[in-house]
Amino acid sequence: MKKIKLILTTCWVLALLVSSCAPDTYSLDGVTDKSDIHYEITQDLAADPGGNTVILKNTTPGVILNWDYGTGKSDKAEVKVQYAFKGNYTIKITAVTGGGLVELDPVTITVAQDNLSYVDDPLWTALSGGVGKSKIWYLDLNAEGVSKFFAGPQFFYGMDNGWLEGGDNGCYGTDCWNWSPEWKGNEWLMPQGDYGSMTFSLSGGALITTDHKMLGKKESGTYFLDTTNKTITLTGATILHDAGKDGCASNWSTNLKILSLTENTMQIGVVRDKCETPALLVYNFISKDYSDNWVPSDTPDPNPEIDLDGGSVGDLLSTTTTSTKTWHLSKDTPFNWTDLEGAFLNNWNSVADYEAAGWTGYVAADQATVVNNKISFSENGTVTTVDSTGKTASGTFTTSTDGTNVITFTGITPTFPIGSSWATVSTTENNQWKIIKTAKTGNVVTDIWFGKRDPAKSEYMVFHFVLSN
């Protein structure tokens, strides 16, 4: 084996002055001389005849060494580095001592030949296009405000979330959650614009160039993809991101979490440690090839199959022995949001869940009044409402016949207060509701969630009504 070693002696000095008639006085350790720090840098020629495998080992007790080995960084006591490409690599070393930081002399090692087996993992290919190739990536938000694959350019995850194909749905601890907002309707996330590009190359090295058009700078350097731990480290560059959160993270390049990586898409998580509470800012990227070949879809809202109690929408709402059905707002779960497929966006199953959320404004004391919000549909097409304040209204309604389960109101706009909450029951600008979900008690549909489509986001605000008679 070829070895480069520095073996020296460490000397630590601690001054503590104690006096019975004066306060204790302490002093910091003196600055450690770099000659008092020793370590080993070893090229393992048995593993790689070209010297591609390099072992970095700290042999100084009480001192932490920060290694910057060109393709990544680490502060571990022993690090194995595998260089895929031949060339000269300079290893920079900083010692963290009791007296402060000590910059050690850099060490340059020579790798005599390529070992491309270190970059032939499918994830390396997905990221760069493969050995000898390069691949361009964009943030999934363009100058027209369009996100082509994801709901938006940025999601938020807990600190213990990670690779989404592993763990328990990407959870590797206790701080696991996610919020995946659609950019439309949440434009405060970041302004629309051309954010530039990132180019990952495996031609002559693992090289990266970034063109931060929104930040007004260009960068170039190297990168390392840890396929085992699903992290990526950039040296000399940072990932594409928005200016608004630039100061919210202290690290935009080292050991960033990869949540997903496919041929067309990539999600990279950056730790938010300077603004608000710690969380992962997850940036969503699409490949240039995917972006160039993307064709916008013009599909209508999906219509999940709804149990209409064996009849039509009109039959469900109004047909009984008296030709009228009255529905009252649920006291336990009066409102929520769903996606376009009807999946709830909040896990609320009781009033306690609303209270625990802390922002809904709906509390147990509201339950007694909420049930007084009622709407009655009659077989002849008339509809009447009475709200919890005693206010009444009447009008007519029609129902769709095309399977969309839409109710259109005329002469009345059903509106109900939801207790002390800021939320209210209301209709769309076209004065419509859509039946999003139903539920049965026995053989009878006793619960309906009427949906109000958001004008910007792909979601419904839904209002839960329960059969009164």
Q: Are 107 and 68 in contact (CB under 8 A)?
A: no
- Which helix (H) or strand (E) segment holds residue 465: the answer is strand 459-467
pLDDT at 403: 86
pLDDT at 208: 96
Among 280, 272, 276, residue whose Cα is nearest residue 249: 272
* Pair of tokens at residue 468: 């009164």
pLDDT at 313: 85
C-alpha to C-alpha distance for 232 and 257, rounded to whole angstroms = 7
Q: Looking at domain 313-467, which CATH architecture does it have?
A: Beta Barrel (2.40)
Three-class SS state of 144: coil
Cα-to-chain-centroid distance, residue 160:
12
Model confidence over 427-440: pLDDT tens digits?
999 999 999 999 99
Answer yes or no: same fold for 2-115 and 313-467: no
Q: Looking at domain 120-293, which CATH architecture does it have?
A: Beta Barrel (2.40)
pLDDT at 31: 65
C-alpha to C-alpha distance for 291 and 197, rounded to whole angstroms = 12
**DSSP class of residue 159?**
T
pLDDT at 218: 97
pLDDT at 122: 95
pLDDT at 15: 33
What residues of the chain score a pLDDT lower than 70?
Answer: 1-31, 298-299, 310, 320-322, 469
Domain boundaries, the chain: 2-115, 120-293, 313-467
pLDDT at 279: 96
pLDDT at 8: 32
pLDDT at 443: 86
C-alpha to C-alpha distance for 37 and 61, rounded to whole angstroms = 9
Class of domain 2-115: mainly beta
Three-class SS state of 117: helix
pLDDT at 74: 87
C-alpha to C-alpha distance for 425 and 460, rounded to whole angstroms = 12
pLDDT at 185: 84
pLDDT at 298: 65
- Which helix (H) or strand (E) segment holds residue 417: the answer is strand 416-417
- Please enumerate in sequence order all residues whose Cβ is within 8 A of that of 20, keeping only pairs 6 or more positions apart, or say none: none
